[in-house]
Structure 1
Amino acid sequence: MYLFTSEAVSAGHPDKCADIIADSIVDMLLQRDPDAKVATEVFISGKHIIIGGEVKSKVPVDTAFYEKIAINALKQIGYPEAGFESGETFFPDEAEVHVYVSAQSPDITMGVEKEDHEIGAGDQGMMFGYASSERADYMPSAFSYAREIRDVLYTYALKHPETFGVDMKTEVVMDYETKENFDQCKPQRIAKIIVAIAHNKTVEEKEVKRLVKEIITQNVTFEAGHFDEDAVEFYINNTGRFVQHSPIADSGLTGRKVVCDTYGGYAPIGGGSQSSKDYSKVDRTALYAARWLAKHIVAAGLAKKALVQISYVIAETRPSSVTVDTQHTGLTEMKDETLSQIIADKFPLTPRWITEKFALDQPSKEHFLYADIAAKGQIGYPEYPWEFLDELDWFQSLKA
């Protein structure tokens, strides 16, 4: 066996609650002022929600603005679930919200707001994009299955709050059989599925295990040969009980699930999280651009895998480096250093260019909401603009 494991968490996980509140703030501020600069952090512990950070906006907001966003976000997630009592789950209307938000430092503003409507990088740092030919969506297998299992269980929990809570983790152990298969993007089978899912105290452990297996087998589409129910080892609520859950059972903090947000451990993570930040922060914008580039490289048939790193200097517009690593899976004679330079010459990759390409300053229900992205994951869903293969012809021309 050659095993690789990835994990996903639901919107109801305490860390995700914090991310979703923070990105709901980003959504609301950018909808009021597309030029707003936002960097807020959220910490949830017990019934306390602490919101801190820096904001610059033409539209003034007060403490009630942040309080309302936090409470509404938690209700949208699914709290409180019917059938759960006080002390077992989070009741948003009982929350105590503490707001410590100040103005963005003018020293940062002077480097971000440039002439000619350009944007300087809001911070220094490096970000990574990744793509793999393991699946049609160019995502790695163990991670995608963990997310798909999470999604079907979360959907069931929302419809059946008398049975399950919305706080859950899923994990998939994929067997590639050999290191060569792993390197060449050839997953063989799922070896183990691990689930931790909050449940009503009236639902017995045996029924939880039975129902979770049934939901997975009936609702997740597995590729041929990847799933054999009789051969997969299941670990479901391995402590035997998971009734008390939500932020009252475990504190939540923004930015603590960056691996679940991106590539599930298959690729490096960058210098910071995406949630809580506006589009001038390259932790967000460059991650999207790097994923877009990596996906094009693999989709165009230039390599089986692609890892793209983009780095920035604070207040500068162009990246300080653009690096492509096809991890010895290149399908052409082109060297990685050549491909890196060609991409750097072709695409400006400034925060403004990325923002306009993906309309990052226009979150909406019709386009996308950052809060929804925080709930599901920052990359890998076809409706995200940075998943569109709109430059595929140009990338394919590089094979000539």
Structure 2
Amino acid sequence: MMKKDFMFTSESVTDGHPDKLCDQVSDALIDRFLQQDPFSRVVAECAVSKGILFIAARFASQASVDIPDVARQVIGQIGYEHGAFNAKDCTVMTSLMELPALSYPQPDERQMGEEELEAIAARNQANVFGFACNQSAAMMPLPIWLSHKLARRLAAARFQKQLPYLAPDGKTQVGVEYRDGRPHRIHSITLVASQWSTAPRGHDKLRDDLHEHVIEPAFLAEELRPDARTHVFINPDGPVVNGGPSLHSGMTGRKNAVDTYGEYSRHSESALSGKDPSRIDRVGAYAARYAAKNVVAAGLAQACEVHLAYSIGITRPVSVQVDSFGTGSIPDAEIADRVHAHFDFRPAGIVRAFNLRYQPQLFRGGFYRRLSVYGQVGRMDVGLPWEATDKAGLLR
């Protein structure tokens, strides 16, 4: 059963946060490989600190990718174009392992029959979770939904030059009070905004600017808004000058809660960024979200968690569990039976259903890089296939 009266907080970060910078570099590499060769197998991990960015990648592909150049492009596009850490002068170190070449042509999931789909097993073990609830338009928990909105507005205020003195690194947090299991009021808002050392603003000016250009626009269309008792914290630990890798280090996959449900529900055990579609620990998390969201959209539950467990060498998940936390209109076992009947959780089935090998060719600027910041689920700005509710009617 879900708790009734409580307060919950979730955080998000902007694209200039060092962890998210690493996620974006890793996923930009996935995009670049798949754009040239949709059957590339790639794992790309990144770490950054001060003036150094380190990439460890292993791949089997017919693509030819200038890995350091991709990293520098991402760094520059985020906004690190000058200062102690910048796209031109930072050191990019690589440790690359080219795996044995794949035989071509590779089998295309879009052309496969049932026997072929059944023959492709999970290549690694994984526990993945998908969650959905009716707290927001995106069927996401309200704290992470609002934290992402604030983070996007914080970045937009810089990109649109409303607040040009802001640096790319930023963090947000929203606390929501729940009554009888439902969001009741906004308890607190925290913004940590970095500023360029060349154009700092005092705390009062920064507070007023962030209220006008970040907090107010983010909550404009929301049913719950800050009230007179809402605690608003702006850089509560003091000024943040320059921020980013010159201040603190980053690493791929270190923001799993930001990528998923803000710790409101369980999230998958592995990092999502930096992995090609053959990795079930990434794509299985998308499939679990797809199933959970359709359960809620069908009205079968107010909140739903779908848990998939995979073992190496086995095609189908060895366990499919559904938990509606006592909010289901029918028993959880019946919901699980319907999910079993209408969703294909086989690795090749997921790749086919979401067209995951070819998405980077369809999205200008790349597909997986878009997922690497502001959430890999619950997005209403990208048209993600796992955010569709096209199976709600079947589940009913």
Q: Give the TM-score, by structure 2 length.
A: 0.89
> C-alpha displacement at 1:252, in angstroms?
0.8
Paired AA for residue 59 in structure 2: V
- SS, match of residue 211 in structure 1: helix
Tell me by how many angstroms 1:235 deviates: 0.7
1:92 aligned counterpart, secondary structure: coil
How much does 1:116 deviate?
Answer: 3.4
In the other structure, the counterpart of 1:259 is 257
1:340 paired with 2:336, answer yes
C-alpha distance in 2 between matches for 1:126 and 1:71: 34
**Paired position in structure 2 for 1:198:** 194
CA distance in structure 2 between the aligned counterparts of 1:262 and 1:193, rounded to whole angstroms: 20
Give the corresponding residue for 2:43.
39
Structure 2: unaligned runs, 5 residues or longer: 102-106, 110-114
Counterpart Cα distance in 2 of 1:214 and 1:168: 17
Looking at structure 1, the residues matched to 11 and 266 of structure 2 have their Cα atoms a distance apart, in angstroms, of 15
Contact 2:157 2:214 in 1 (8 A): no
**8 Å Cα contact 2:34/2:360 also seen in 1:** no
Instruction: Structure 1: give runs of 5+ residues left out of the alignment.
Output: 107-111
Query: Is 1:394 equivalent to 2:394 in the alignment?
Result: yes
Pairs within 5 Å for 1:1-400: 2-61=6-65, 65-80=66-81, 86-87=83-84, 90-104=85-99, 116=116, 119-160=120-161, 162-176=164-178, 178=179, 181-182=180-181, 186-201=182-197, 202-221=200-219, 226-332=224-330, 335-364=331-360, 366-367=362-363, 369-382=367-380, 383-396=383-396
Give 1:344 shift. Answer: 2.1
SS of 1:130's partner is: strand
8 A contact 1:34–1:361 mirrored in 2: yes
Q: Deviations over 1:6-27 (max 9, x none)?
A: 0001110000000000000000
What is the CA–CA distance in structure 2 between the aligned matches of 1:33 and 1:217, rounded to whole Å? Answer: 42
If the length of structure 1 is used for normalisation, what is the TM-score? 0.88
For residues 254 and 149 of structure 2, the distance between their equivalents in structure 1, rounded to whole angstroms, comes to 21
The alpha carbon displacement at 1:347 in A equals: 2.5
RMSD: 2.2
- Taking only the aligned residue pairs, the percentage that are identical comes to 30
- Amino acid across the alignment from 1:391: K
Q: Distance in 1 between matches of 2:340 and 2:158?
A: 45
User: Structure 1 374/190 Cα, relative in aligned 2: closer, same or farther at 3 Å?
Assistant: same
Comparing 217-226 with 122-131, which one deviates more in the overlay?
A: 217-226
Matched residue SS, 1:278: coil
- SS at 2:233's partner residue? strand
Give the direction of change, closer, same or farther, for the CA distance of 1:105–1:319 in structure 2 (3 Å limit). Answer: farther
- Could you tell me how far 1:339 is from its partner in structure 2? 2.3
Distance between the aligned counterparts of 2:240 and 2:250, measured in 1?
A: 17
Quote the Cα distance in structure 2 between the aligned partners of 1:298 and 1:352: 25
Deviation at 1:162, TM superposition (A): 3.3
3-state DSSP class of the match of 1:191? strand
Distance in 1, Cα, partners of 2:247 & 2:270: 26
Superposed displacement of residue 58, structure 1: 2.4
Deviations 1:21-70 (A, max 9, x none): 00000000011111111111101111111111321112354xxx100110
Name the count of aligned residue pairs: 374
Change (3 A) 1:205 1:293: same
Paired with 1:336 and 1:263, the residues of 2 have a C-alpha distance of 21
CA displacement, residues 242-285 of structure 1 (integer Å, 9 cap, x when unaligned): 11311111111000000000000111121201100011111211
- The equivalent residue for 2:104 is none
Which amino acid letter does the alignment assign opposite residue 102 of structure 1?
A: M
| Structure 2 counterpart of 1:109 | none
What's the offset of the Cα at 1:4?
A: 0.5
CA deviations on 1:127-158 (whole Å, 9 max, x unpaired) are 00000111222111111111101111110011
